Copies of this chain bind each other. A is one copy, B any other.
Amino acid sequence: MHNRPHASGNSVASTRLVSRQRRPRGTEVPLGKVTVGGKRIVVIAGPCAVESRRQMFAVGRVVKKAGAHAVRGGSFKPRTSPYSFRGLGEKALRILKEVRDACGLAVVTEVVSLSELPMVLNYADVLQIGSRNMQNFALLEEVGKTGRPVLLKRGMMATIEEFLLSVEYILSQGNDKVILCERGIRTFERYTRNTLDISAVPLLKRLTHLPVIVDPSHGTGVRELVPAVSKASIAAGADGLLIEVHPNPDKALSDGFQSLAPHEFTALMKDLALIARAVGRSL
């Protein structure tokens, strides 16, 4: 009947590399031509998985026009079932690069394991580490060594403390270009896929010097809830959003039920600009 360890209080020890005390003004992480963590709110948008050149160009043009700064799309998909669609691999990476060049959008894509890391480095501006890999420590250290910006998603079962210790694995390799992403935690609720932890946004901003973004698509799992939660995230102080957009959500190979259609995304961007201004920022 021992006490369980828990968070140590008012702040993260300043001996930790992630601690806000080590860099009170905060860190800005490059995302193509902009940075995350400054006055500007950044938006990364795109489908769960890259399915075809046609799909990605359709998305890229729409989200660029609506004001997004980067495009996302899975090339290698970690799937709960071995029988699900697992991504187009390098073909997807090449498509992403084409979209980047044609539309002027940075590319964010997930690295699933060590073996494809060198390949992904050839194409991605930002390396995403997904929530299932938040404690894949070997992978964290390797992306740390690359020096490339990293978008690290909180595990769906991870405490804030564990999330920050995973960040420490990356920082301890000399790479401080890390974007933190809240994407919802697992609870007993059934209307939603996860429960987005909105308080994680101001908490992470206080404890660390790193930028914090929110993924409202996985965080709720419900398309109709994405706009409200996106607005809430910016109001809570998030530095950006990662939003699933698909040209035809009902035909998506994965996660269509939580993806916005192009017109929904465009309308949301206008609303977000108003919220950004209300908190002294711009989109």
Contact = CB atoms under 8 A, between A and B. Distances in A.
Interface stretch (A22-30, A97-105, A200-208, A239-247): A200-208
Interface in A227-276: 227-229, 231-237, 257, 271, 274-275
Interface residues of A, number: 82
Contact of A162 (B11, B80, B206, B229): B80
Contacts of A189: 159-160, 185, 197
A196 interface: yes
B278 A79 contact: no
A79 B188 CA distance: 19
B82 A168 contact: yes
Interface string A1-38: 11110111111000000000000000000000000000
A274 B274 CA distance: 10
Given A1-B207, A2-B222, A185 B190 contact: no
29 contacts: A1-B222, A2-B9, A4-B191, A80-B135, A80-B166, A82-B141, A83-B168, A112-B137, A113-B137, A113-B139, A132-B136, A136-B136, A157-B188, A159-B189, A185-B188, A195-B197, A196-B199, A198-B229, A199-B228, A202-B224, A202-B228, A203-B225, A229-B236, A231-B236, A232-B236, A235-B275, A274-B279, A277-B278, A278-B278
